[in-house]
Structure 1
């Protein structure tokens, strides 16, 4: 498969996939924004500015999500009474926690499909039938991908406050084998790889070492972080976990 096949010709953000997924973008990242999200939800971000700390902003965000997407009153969103048990938990929290449990399951496919749709980066690896898992995960949900739009935008808002002077984060990923990675170039420990369109990393090298024989170390652009472990209460199970948007990266591989 050619590297160009990793990039779709269209997406729903301000930069083309061939640019935001490229190696030069890793070195010199630019602002990323999903089309129309900040404008549509302007009132949310206005209210966030008045909140005194991260905990208060997280609660405000979750309250907004519940009201805007009718997460606790699904009948108002068109839910039929006999289908409540099937849809009650089909929301952004279910997707992110499901990813932490099994990134190759239904919720993992939904998240990979969202990245594909919004950023134009195609799925490189999914253990299972990806189109089926994605459709099953989205079926009967209430604007689930739009919920994820807000998660990413809120994540970037918070990172802008806590890492305003940083353009990169050094993150680590432990793997047992390199088979699922497309290594485009390698010289010793340095390698250029095409990562899956979304992957889990951690800021704790020792934690990454628990997950495999190899450790991938990457300087990840802050704008490519779509969620992280303490963005919202009890969001991700993994200690220090970050969800990272993929593309081509220069990494250090050690064992």
Structure 2
């Protein structure tokens, strides 16, 4: 009886707020970071839009509306990106010919998501986390180590990697803006009004994550990094740790998933998810 009463009292407690150290006061989307990064948003999500992107590329989405096949839409999207951002005409985009040409050719949205898939703590991962900070206002918590010390070597290495990854690119952040917007478009077509997807993340230790609140029945409220990998395949999550975090992820916080662009990445079950506070269930193998 006492345990039941304690559980009821805990359920009535307000969810912990997003720590001030985890977000910026401004961002470039339709909700402030303190709201979109909170637990209430996870429970009651709404669409997120990066300022002006859908309107600026309205012609693309009108074209996609008329295409019934997902693979056809994906190809049209990639063709649009190539032409719009001059990805195959770098001199016309302002690049001076020279020995850095090859690396700049690869510095596009496809290179970023491929690089994330191979190593989320590499240069491409730093670029994506920095993009998430500027667009959604959620600060990175980890990149090849904890980022809590803003004067520390790990944090400065993270800033350096992100800066070098963006240098002399063809509006790389704008490419990522449109990739996220296209991802949201495809999720809406595939899942309709569904506001969440159940996703899984394998871990070895719970202390790999910042715990905001411990709750009954194996539930915890945790603060994730500002960008994270999940999978829609529970068996796949088993391969990455002894524990599995199970959570309902708002579709509006999915930045990219592998089958969005067929043939671009190995496998079709990884989802790259914008972070913040989440309630998760913890299960052992």
1:167-246 to structure 2, matched below 5 A, reads: 167-187=195-215, 188-246=217-275
Give the distance between the partners of 1:57 and 1:174, measured in 2 at CA: 32
Change (3 A) 1:186 1:238: farther
Query: Which structure: larger Rg?
Result: 2
Query: Is the counterpart of residue 119 in structure 1 residue 136 in structure 2?
Result: yes
Moved more, 162-171 or 172-181: 172-181
Deviations 1:24-77 (A, max 9, x none): 000000111000101111111111112121011000000000000000111111
Could you tell me how far apart the structure 2 residues matched to 1:169 and 1:93 are? Answer: 24
Query: Residues 1-255 of structure 1 correspond to what in structure 2 (within 5 A)?
Result: 3-82=19-98, 83-127=100-144, 128=154, 129-187=157-215, 188-255=217-284
CA deviation digits over 1:91-117, x for unaligned, max 9?
Answer: 000000000000000000001111111
Q: Distance in 1 between matches of 2:206 and 2:20?
A: 21
Please list every run of 5 or more consecutive structure 2 residues that lacks an aligned counterpart in the other structure.
1-17, 145-153
* CA distance in structure 2 between the aligned counterparts of 1:11 and 1:56, rounded to whole angstroms: 33
Q: Is the 8 A contact 1:202 1:239 kept in 2?
A: no
Segment of structure 1 superposing worse, 94-103 or 179-188? 179-188
Whole-Å separation in 2 of the counterparts to 1:135 and 1:238: 30
Task: Give the conservation status (yes or no) of the 8 Å contact 1:100–1:238.
Answer: no
Q: Report the Cα distance in structure 1 between the residues aligned to 2:124 and 2:208, rounded to whole angstroms.
A: 20
When residues 138 and 203 of structure 1 are mapped into structure 2, their CA distance, relative to the original with a 3 A threshold, is same
After TM superposition, give the deviation of residue 213 of structure 1 in Å: 1.1
CA RMSD after TM alignment: 1.2
In structure 1, runs of 5+ residues without a counterpart are none
The answer to whether the 8 Å contact 1:218/1:252 transfers is yes
Q: TM-score, normalised by structure 2?
A: 0.87
CA distance in structure 1 between the aligned counterparts of 2:55 and 2:255, rounded to whole angstroms = 19
- Equivalent residues, number: 254
Could you say what secondary structure the match of 1:61 adopts?
A: helix
**1:190 CA drift (Å):** 0.3
Q: Is the 8 A contact 2:210 2:223 kept in 1?
A: yes
1 CA distance for matches of 2:27 and 2:110?
24
